[in-house]
């Protein structure tokens, strides 16, 4: 049994109900998400061999402060950084540190800014110098997975249509979909209902309705889907140490499909890859 509720009148907590947002919320989300996208654009020039992920994280903190935005991850459930930086076999929630990136690494940078109470959540993969073919292919497959998931967002379809589109494509490309983490409702809360699974069947889950706002953020592995979380309590890695990639957008459901709030204003949605052809 799913419950939909007008966001303006809803409890400020996650009660399991699905918020339906109006025009003011869409306008606020557009602003927060575009700030996140601009940050992810600007950080691209900093991702070079030798740079420590701490340096990227500091830039992300400062960029937020300069624009009146707070990084949602800072002090979130004990997390102490302004971003997640997930390198190579790290699936998600990698913690920025003082180690330098190395040529050939792939790193996901995940940023959520809170601006005027609205959460803009997005991540992209950044190549560190030239990549091996397998790594480049994984980035292509993962980006395409995200875009196919987004294309499945339509009022009247179920949330499961997103996961089915992603899983069908990724597995046909001989990759696997991580099951342990999912997308989520987002807006006035960072992590809200519903969960957006990146696998499953089109008949699964609640109906998609106009006004819903959520993230789609598939994690795709070259090897098996299984992950484990390291002793720091955050860093999730592939059990088989195979490479993992992730891209994330925040979207709002419209009458005919969805608006991607976190699209790059600079056309840098997939840094280091050729322009997206659809």
Q: Can residue 57 be called a binding residue for Co ion (CB under 5 A)?
A: no
- Count interface residues toward ligand MF3 (CB under 6 A): 13
User: 276 contacts which partner out of Co ion, ligand MF3, none, CB within 5 to 8 A by kind?
Assistant: none
* Beta bridge mates, 122: 111
Q: Which is nearer to ligand MF3, 121 or 269 (CB)?
A: 121
Residue of 85, 167, 215, 246 that binds Co ion (CB under 5 A): 215
Q: Which is nearer to ligand MF3, 94 or 131 (CB)?
A: 94
Q: 60-119: which residues touch ligand MF3 (CB under 6 A)?
A: 73, 76-77, 79, 84, 93, 110, 112
Q: How far is the CB of 18 from Co ion (least distance, A)?
A: 16
Rg (CA), the chain: 17
| Alpha carbons 201 and 63: distance in angstroms, whole number | 40
Mapping DSSP onto H, E and C, the string for the chain reads CCCEEEHHHCCCCCCCCEEECCHHHHHHHHHHHHHHHHHHHHHHHHCCCCCEHHHHHHHHHHHHHHCCCEECCCCCCCCCCCCEEEECCEEECCCCCCCECCCCCEEEEEEEEEECCEEEEEEEEEECCCCCHHHHHHHHHHHHHHHHHHHCCCCCCECHHHHHHHHHHHHHCCCEECCCCCEEECCCCCCEEEEECCCCCCCCCCECCCCCEEEECCEEECCCCCEEECCCCCCEEECCCCCEEECEEEEEECCCCEEECCCCCCCCCCCCCCCCCC
Indicate which single residue of 57, 121, 164, 192 sits in contact with ligand MF3 (rule: CB under 6 A): 121
Contacted by 250, from Co ion, ligand MF3, none: CB < 5 to 8 Å by type? none
Shortest distance, position 191 Cβ to Co ion, whole Å: 7
Candidates 57, 192, 248, 269: give the one binding ligand MF3 (CB under 6 A): 248
The reply to whether 121 sits near Co ion by the rule CB under 5 A is: yes
Cα first-last separation, the chain? 36
- When CB distances are held under 5 to 8 angstroms depending on the partner's kind, the choice from Co ion, ligand MF3, none that residue 82 binds is none
Which one, 20 or 186, has the nearer CB to Co ion? 186
The answer to whether residue 250 forms part of the interface with Co ion (CB under 5 A) is no
Pattern 96-115, binding to Co ion, x per CB under 5 A? --------------x-----
Least Å from the CB of residue 106 to Co ion: 17
Binding site for Co ion (CB under 5 A): 110, 121, 123, 215, 248
Binding site for ligand MF3 (CB under 6 A): 73, 76-77, 79, 84, 93, 110, 112, 121, 215, 217, 234, 248
């Amino acid at each position: 049994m799913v419950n939909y509720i007008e966001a303006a009148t809803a409890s400020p907590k996650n009660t399991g109900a699905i918020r339906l947002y109006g025009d003011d919320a869409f306008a606020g989300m557009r602003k927060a998400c575009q700030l996140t996208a601009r940050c992810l654009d600007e950080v691209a020039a900093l991702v070079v061999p030798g740079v420590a992920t701490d340096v990227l994280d500091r830039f992300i903190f400062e960029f937020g402060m300069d624009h009146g935005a707070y990084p949602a991850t800072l002090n979130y459930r004990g997390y102490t950084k302004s971003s997640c930086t997930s390198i190579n076999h790290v699936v998600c929630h990698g913690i920025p540190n003082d180690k330098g990136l190395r040529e050939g690494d792939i790193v996901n940078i995940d940023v959520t800014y809170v601006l005027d109470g609205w959460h803009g959540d997005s991540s992209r993969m950044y190549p560190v110098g030239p990549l091996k073919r397998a790594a480049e292919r994984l980035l292509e497959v993962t980006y395409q997975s995200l875009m196919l998931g987004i294309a499945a967002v339509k009022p009247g379809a179920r949330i499961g249509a997103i996961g089915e589109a992603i899983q069908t494509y990724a597995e046909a490309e001989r990759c696997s979909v991580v099951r342990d983490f999912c997308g989520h409702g987002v807006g006035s809360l960072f992590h809200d209902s519903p969960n957006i699974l990146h696998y499953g069947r089109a008949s699964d889950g609640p109906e998609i309705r106009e006004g819903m706002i959520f993230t789609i953020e598939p994690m795709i592995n070259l090897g098996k889907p299984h992950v484990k979380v390291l002793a720091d309590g955050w860093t999730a890695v592939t059990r088989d140490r195979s490479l993992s990639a992730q891209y994330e957008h925040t979207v709002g459901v419209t009458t005919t499909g969805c608006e991607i709030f976190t699209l790059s204003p600079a056309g840098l949605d997939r840094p280091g890859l050729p322009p997206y052809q659809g």
